[in-house]
Chains A and B, each alone.
Chain A
Amino acid sequence: MEPKLGNFFIFRGKLILDEDKTDDKILYFHPKSEDVMIKSRIVGLSEAVINFTEDFTDEPCQYLYTTTTCQVFQVVEDNICFVMTVINDNKKSKCCVGLYQTILNIAYRTFCFFHGNCSYILKNNNSDYSCLSKYLECFFDSYLSTLSASSFNLLNAEGYMKFFCLEKNNFMRVYCSMNRLSSSFSDIACTALFFNDEIVWSGLHHSDMRILYYYVTKCLLPRSRETTNEAGTPKINQYGKFLHGPSDLSKDNKPTLPLVHICNGNEVVKSYHLVVYAALSSTLCMLVNGKTPPNEQWFRNIHDYLDVQQSALATDIYEEWISRKQENSSSPTYIYINGADFSSKRSNKSIVEPACSLIADMHYTWKFNESDYSELIVQHSHSDLWVVKRKDYDKEQFIVLTDSLNFSQISDELRNCNYDENFSLQLWD
């Protein structure tokens, strides 16, 4: 059995000294069916562990291992603590705490993206914690359902974005059309274009883009694919449609748009309406300024403007994508990860165990005292499996070699391979 989500809870630490008021202390708890007694023990243990570590260090408590579980902590703001427990009953499959920390962090950041952070909500609701609790419940009940067992799989590289780097002519076309769109519709503050689940263009800062990416690829697109399949093939003449916006432009009904919040540290800096428009395999996200959502006419204008243009763009990108896919089929198995802009790229070949857990160890677990190493090569016992990690500041590159080679041959092999290091999209602010 693969590791799975055990529980996910949010509580107020330290502020409440009265032990009887445990209910006020817990702001959110998943699963709801958990026994009240167990619930308070779980929260109590987390709090006790955090307090215990404070006797020995000033740094915040990060995680806890028991025989069958791994619990990660993140104290976010004003002593509000997010905790996630992953259960791993199978001794053979590995718990990867670094991955769980990323998942927890993204969960919090996604909440902030859609609702503003906790102090922002409290400020707007007279510091009413029960109100905050409702916001958390409303959000996390649906959010946690998107966390499937595969989210806890080591190699899903949660939290990393996939970029599709276009060749320069296509990229310039995308760049120009995005610029033209922003200048034609002045209330569009920012745009991001996806092709399938890869980013082609983004005007957002990468830390916010990471959250938007997660939302679009894990929630929005899978949901829209389901509804498209139910409705059968779309009408030939109508390529484009709104995923966030009016579903039917002929009717005058006001769509409800999600409000997204761009946070800088602990402060909500600006809020926008999120409009999403899809044409063929491309998806365009637009962050729109304004106190109220745009009116029906605005949506009609956007549709008229984008419908043909974006579909044509999507067709060209598709052609490049197909030709690129064929080219890459002979390259070795690899993963690139760029920690600076949270991007990742991988070969089409799937990576199996034990390469998978070796990569996870090399990426998350092995923290050598000398952090500035440039190359790490390991060979698994009893097999011809080699995993190479090359590191340049935040950029990491993993190459999996399965041929029967000795160490000196590995170095020759690596010299012969000219790996493409340009996998990150240059973000033009």
Chain B
Amino acid sequence: MSTQDSSEKKENSVEHGAFVTTDSFNDLADAYSSPKLLSVSNRNQEVSSSNSYDERAQLYPEDDEDTLYVESEEFKREDKHVFVLSKAGKPVYSLHGNEDKLVTKMATIIGLISVAESIRKKDTLKEIVAGNRKIVFVVKEYLVLVAISSRGQSTSYLNLLLNYVHNQILCLLTYTKLKWKFDNRSNFDLRNILAGDNTDKFFSNLISDFDINPSYMLCSVRCLPVPDNIRNSLGKVIANAGSKNINKIAFALLICDNLLTTESLVPICFPHFDNAGYLFAFLSFLDANLCLILITASDEDQLLNMRETKKQILEKAHKPLSVIRQIATERPNYEVSAIGIPELRHFMYKNRMSAQWHAPNFTSPFSTPDEQSKLIQLYESVHAAMHTPGCPLMTFWKAADRHNIMATSTNEHEVYAIFSPLTSKAVAHYSMQKIIKWVKKEETKYVIWNSPTF
């Protein structure tokens, strides 16, 4: 079930309470008169033997859909699960299903963790593997996060995902608030201060983005390719306008995305910057694609000040912005053929100094979303091998049926490249050098080097 579906389903259940479709009312009468209706105590047995969600909906019409779903085979076989719960076992979030119905599973998780800790001191449950299912636990001071995946991702990748989810919570609440709430009452229900379905969407989007966006595993960002001079002149304008602002702007970002929203000032906590307090982000969409973000430490009269700053930026940076608008609409990116190596199918380049990465467009054989997702997984497995804890690698080569893959890592960069399966090691070696040479030449366009300061 996609994220969107699950959130829609939740909305339904919120509006209608125990949500029953009209069809089920007919089945309800049938079920009550049939001997299939079992008592609650032995119901679980029956549930595990029946496979279809619909079948069980007919069997136990007194249950609402959410309960049936979390006990169903569909739930069991979901590709990926993420659970967040408090140390007292109170559910906070579940990727699939209504977390209220997962109380038993969450209690089991807390039980497993505390028994493991009681057997050996300072021992924490880290990982369980059953077949192709991997269950990873991250135990934080107040929260426990669990990821269950059958996508073959590495443990470190799932750990990273859970840490991002945790940071997302801190981003919304700050560590100070979390500490205060849980120190006062250990069985506090965190959902009381999270904004329900709205924040669930943040988590769900983050989790699904993890599967398709290499930025997370590379710990770096991707920039819109803009000519150097355009970027610099816009940077100067923003820096200039920002320093005139009375309340001092700490950071300014111009991001390109396809979300549309109105102008707003949002409190936001950056856990790695300062997990105790909020900064204030002024979000303003310049058009359908471009969003200007100005971040400041104080919220006094900010909305007005920020509007003023934005106005100045729009006036003075008219020329570079129009170029950037054009680029944001067209989204030009290079093709892998630009490198001039026929055997090369795709590559990913990370500049370690600036923590930025870029890659060519997906072309054949990676034209379908399914192929692209598989490619990201392939990159992930090689990335994990390159960064094996305690034994990092400098060079990696794998010759396989579908692709040959090579990766190199130096202090300056990491390059991951996919070749056709008959590519020789000599050609691959030469290609890696050629990629690096090409990237160096084009770097100013794809990587932000000089960030002006306020």
Contact = CB atoms under 8 A, between A and B. Distances in A.
B131 A368 contact: no
**Among A59, A382, A406, A407: residue with most chain B CB under 10 A:** A407
Interface of B: 76, 81, 105, 108-109, 111-112, 115-116, 118-120, 122-133, 135, 148, 150, 152, 374, 377-378, 381, 385, 388, 390-403, 409, 424-426, 428-430
Given A65-B126, A67-B124, A57 B133 contact: yes
B111 A48 contact: yes
Interface stretch (A211-219, A280-288, A308-316, A354-362): A354-362
Interface in A30-50: 38, 41-42, 44-45, 48-49
Contact of A380 (B108, B130, B393): B393
A235 B444 CA distance: 84
Interface stretch (A111-119, A171-179, A327-335, A370-378): A370-378
Contacts of A382: 394
**Chain A's interface: helix, strand, loop or mixed, by majority?**
mixed
B351 to A, nearest CB: 18
Given A61-B130, A66-B124, A410-B425, 11 more contacts: A41-B118, A52-B109, A53-B130, A63-B128, A65-B126, A65-B128, A358-B391, A370-B403, A375-B397, A381-B394, A407-B428
Contact of A52 (B112, B395, B403, B429): B112
B401 to A, nearest CB: 5
Contact of B129 (A62, A378, A411): A62
A55 B105 contact: yes
A377 B108 contact: no
Interface of B is mostly: mixed
B131 A45 contact: no
Given A41-B118, A369-B374, A92 B390 contact: yes
Contacts of B124: 66-67
Contact of A411 (B123, B392, B426): B426
A416 interface: no
A41 B123 CA distance: 14
A94 interface: yes
B126 A378 contact: no
A56 B152 CA distance: 15
Interface of A: 38, 41-42, 44-45, 48-49, 52-53, 55-69, 91-92, 94, 97, 354, 357-358, 361, 366-370, 372-382, 386, 406-408, 410-411
Contacts of B81: 56
A53 B128 contact: yes
Contacts of B374: 369
A123 to B, nearest CB: 29
A408 B425 CA distance: 6
6 contacts: A45-B119, A48-B112, A52-B128, A63-B128, A69-B123, A376-B399
